[in-house]
A = this chain, B = another copy of it.
Amino acid sequence: MKPEWREDQPIYRQLRDKVAEAILKGSLQEGDALPSVRNIAVEMQINPLTASKAYQELVAEELVEKRRGLGMFVIAGAKDRLLSAERKQFLDEEWPTMVTRIKSLGLDIEELLKNAEREGGQE
């Protein structure tokens, strides 16, 4: 797995998002240890400090806890909390913006739906 970083966001933010997604998908279960800062830095080919910054964001969001000398672990309830927080964020902010945009572009709902099905083979 060769990580590729987008330019539109800082790397640490993207790494945070990757971990959050892994929690949502269940590939990181609650109670699981995250890869160590050093390991993930090597794997992702980034500076350990950058990786650490991503982890600190997760700690601040209370999705992950630090156990001193042991590492970082997914907090119990993290998945639920994350899911509801993201849904709220989506429904309150992202989707209304998107709806406005769709309308101002005069796009056809049916067409968008077909579009969504076409690419949505996976999941």
Contact = CB atoms under 8 A, between A and B. Distances in A.
How many copies are assembled? 4
A25 B117 CA distance: 30
Interface in A83-112: 83, 86-87, 90-91, 94-96, 98-107, 109-110, 112
A83 B122 CA distance: 31
Contact of A112 (B25, B68, B95): B95
Contacts of A69: 47
A104 B21 contact: yes
Band of interface residues on A? 35 or more
A3 interface: no
Nearest to A123: B103
